[in-house]
Amino acid sequence: MIFKLVSDGRPYPEHGLSHREWAQIPPRQVRLDTLITTKTVLDLHSLLAKDSTFYGDLFPHVVQWRGELYLEDGLHRALRSALHQRSILHARVLELPED
């Protein structure tokens, strides 16, 4: 098992963070098997592209809400880590209040 759950959509409230605001969150280690994806489809070109991180953040974006970790952005990076036999990923984690 790579991820805790594969889900389609974001169950947590909209956070409205910009790319610049995400960049202010320091990356930390996250186990792949604790992540719930928010996308069920991945473009194979994105996964296999050599420059897939050239235009975006080097670190995936994870939202922590109600005790769960949701992989909001960076699914191809997470899968690439899994393909390299890694169980841990460095990601930016935004902690949302629990209502």
Cα angle vertex 59, ends 58, 63, to 5°?
A: 150
pLDDT of residue 4: 96
pTM of this structure? 0.88
Q: What tens digit of pLDDT does each residue of 20-75 get? A: 999 999 999 999 999 999 988 877 776 666 655 555 668 999 999 999 999 999 98
pLDDT of residue 45: 73
Report for 39-43, 80-84, 88-92: range of highest mean pLDDT: 88-92
Domains of the chain with bracketed CATH: 5-95 (3.90.1530.10)
H or E element that contains 20 = helix 19-23
